[in-house]
Structure 1
Amino acid sequence: MVDRDEVCVLIPTYNEAAAIGEVIERFLAVGYENVLVIDGGSTDGTRDIAEEAGAHVVVQSGEGKGQAVREAVDMIDAPYVLMVDGDATYRPEQADRMIEPLQEGTAEHVIGDRFADMQDGAMTRLNQVGNRIINRVFSVVHGRDLQDILSGYRAFTTDSFGRLSLSADGFGIETELAVECVRHDIKTAVVPITYESRPEGSETNLRPFRDGGNILLTLYRLAKKNNPIFYFGSIGVLSGLIGVGLAVFVLYSWIVVGISREVIALASGVALLFGLQLVMFGVLSDLIVTANRQQRRQFQRIERRLDRLEPDDGAEPSGTARPPGEETVAVSEDGTED
C-alpha cells in the first residue's frame, strides 16, 4: 500500500494555464495532497490557477526546467518526489505504480515509459523518431536500456537525488538524470504508463531540432565521465582516420604524381599519434572509472551492513542472544567480512 503522505508531487511549469488546474485537482483527488509547483515566470496566469487548485507555488530564481527541478528538490522535506509535467499528458491515477518500487525498496529512481501506451496524436512522428534515436544512442553510449530516458514522469528518493551531480538547466535534465543514475549505480526501474495528447489550447515548449541536438550533445558530453573509452576513443579513432586519409593522399601524390608533400605528411603523423594517445587515454580512464565503481559498491555494501548492525532504540544490549535465523555480520577494520 502506497503511503501518499510521504510523497511530494513536483510540477515544473511555464505557461501551462490550459492544463495545470486539472493536473493538480486530479492529484488531490487520488490522495496526493503535497503538491509543489515551481514556475519559470509564466505570463498566462499559471501561478494563480495553481494556487486556486490547491498547490504550493514557488517562482524559480533561475531559468530552465533543470534549474527549477534542482531548486525545488532542495525545498522538499518528503522522502519521495514524484516529478510530472504540468501539461496533462500524464495520468495522476497512475502515480501509485511510480511510487511503489521506491517504497518497496526495489528502486531509488523510477521512469515512466510513455511508449508502453502512447495515445494517438500524443507525440508527432518526428518526435517519436527523435526519441527512439536518443534512447538508442543512450543505450549504446552508456550501456543501459532505460526505454524512455526523456520521460517527464519520474519518481525518486530525495536521498538518491542528492547523490547525483546535475548541471543541466533546460530539457536536458531528464537525460542527465538517466546518465547520473547509471554512473552512480542508482537502482532504476521502468514502469509502463499512458501518454496522452495535450489539451486544446496547450502548446509545447519543446523545440524538436534545437532541443534534440542539445540532448544528443549532452549524452556525448556526459560519456566523458560515464564511458570515457567511448568518449576519448571516438575522437581518437576520428583523428586516426584523418591521419590515414592524409597518409594515403601523400603516398598517392608521391608515387603516382611525383610530388612530395612534406607538410601534409607531417600533419598525417601528428593526427595518427594524437589519435593513438586519445585511445590509450580512454582505456586508462575506463579502468579508473571501473575501479571507482567497484570501490563505491563495496563501500555501499559495508554501509548497509553497518546500518543493520546498529541497534535501534530499545534493542537488546551487547551479548544478548539473537532470535534463531537472524543474521549476524561482522566487519573487520579493513572493511572485509569475518
Structure 2
Amino acid sequence: MSVTILALTLNEIDGVRAILPRIKRQWYDQLIVVDGGSSDGTIEWCRAEGYDVYVQRRHGIRFAYLEVFPLVSGDIVLTLSPDGNCDPDVIPALLEKMHQGYDLVIGSRYLDDAHSDDDDFITGFGNWLFTRTVNLLHKGNYTDCMVIYRAFRRSLITELDLDKDESYELSERLFGTVISWEPLMSVRALKAQKRVGEVPAGEPPRIGGVRKLQIFRWGAAYYFQFWREVWFWRPG
C-alpha cells in the first residue's frame, strides 16, 4: 500500500527545519506540508527544500484536511505535526502495524512507558478524561484517542463520514470554534468495528513556535461530540 504523509504547520519554522529532514524518503510515496497561512518563513523554507506545500484557504485544521484530501494519493495516510511533538522515528512502527491489516493506528503518548513532555495538568487530565469517556461510551481500549499522530486507511475518511460538515457543525456552532477530526475518527472507528491499534510514541517537547490548542472550547466541543455520537451516527 502506498503512503501519504500530511505534515500540518502554522508558523513552525524551527520545527520543520529540525523534523522534516528526519522523515526518510523510503517511508512514504507522497509528503504534503499542509500550512495554515504561516508568516514566519515556514512555507518558503519548505518549498525551497523541495517539499510540496498546500496552503489552506479556510481557517481551522478540519478545513486543512478537507481541502488537501483530493490531492492525497496514498492508500495509507499518516498525519503529524512537525513541531517536535511527533517523533519521526515512530513512523516505521505506525506503518508496520498498518501493513498488518489495521484500519487505524495511533501513536499513543501514554501506551506502555510512553509519556508526554508537553502536557501540563489541564491537558494531561483532559486527555485522560476524554480517552476514558470514549472507552466507556463506545467500548474502546484506547490509551490516547485525541492525538494527531496516527496512520489510517485513506478510505476511512469517507467510510466514517469525516468529510461531511454535518459531523462537526453543531459542536462548532455551540462552542464557537473549528475542531479537527481525530477524536471523531477514534469514536467512529470503534462504532464501525474497524481494526484499531496503538504504538507507543510519547510526545517530546515542541521546538519553537506557539502551541495552538484552544483548551476549553475544543475540549467542550469534543466532549459534546463523544456523547452525541452515542445516538447520532451509525455506520453505513
TM-score for the superposition, normalised by structure 2: 0.85
Superposition misfits of 4+ residues, deviation over 4 angstroms = none
Check conservation: 2:106, 2:147, Cα contact below 8 A.
Answer: yes
Instruction: Give 1:137's match in structure 2, choosing from 129, 133, 138.
Output: 133
State, as a whole percentage, how many aligned pairs show the same letter: 24
> Counterpart in 2 of 1:109?
104
Query: What pairs up with 1:17-28 in 2 under 5 angstroms?
Result: 17-28=13-24
More helix by share: 1
Deviation of 1:30 (Å) = 6.4
Query: What pairs up with 1:29-44 in 2 under 5 angstroms?
Result: 31-32=27-28, 34-44=30-40
Deviations 1:75-126 (A, max 9, x none): 1112111111121211111101101122222x0111111113125x321122
Query: What pairs up with 1:177-188 in 2 under 5 angstroms?
Result: 177-188=185-196
Q: Report the 3-state secondary structure (helix = DSSP H, G, I; strand = E; otherwise coil) of the residue aligned with 2:197.
A: strand
> Counterpart in 2 of 1:153?
149
CA distance in 2, matches of 1:65, 1:134: 19
Q: Report the 3-state secondary structure (helix = DSSP H, G, I; strand = E; otherwise coil) of the residue aligned with 1:86.
A: coil
Check conservation: 1:12, 1:85, Cα contact below 8 A.
Answer: yes
- Unaligned residue ranges in structure 1 (runs of 5+): 227-288, 297-338
Q: Answer yes or no: is 1:118 the counterpart of 2:115.
A: yes
Query: What pairs up with 1:211-222 in 2 under 5 angstroms?
Result: 211-222=218-229
- Classify 1:45/1:145 alpha carbon distance in 2 versus 1 (closer, same or farther; 3 Å): same
Query: What pairs up with 1:1-338 in 2 under 5 angstroms?
Result: 6-28=2-24, 31-32=27-28, 34-105=30-101, 107-116=102-111, 117-119=114-116, 121-166=117-162, 167=165, 168=168, 170-199=178-207, 201-226=208-233
Q: Report the 3-state secondary structure (helix = DSSP H, G, I; strand = E; otherwise coil) of the residue aligned with 2:200.
A: strand
CA distance in 1, matches of 2:182, 2:20: 22
> Counterpart in 1 of 2:175?
none
CA distance in 2, matches of 1:173, 1:100: 23
Q: Report the 3-state secondary structure (helix = DSSP H, G, I; strand = E; otherwise coil) of the residue aligned with 2:99.
A: helix
- Unaligned residue ranges in structure 2 (runs of 5+): 173-177
Deviations 1:38-92 (A, max 9, x none): 1111222221122233321011132211121122232111211111112121111
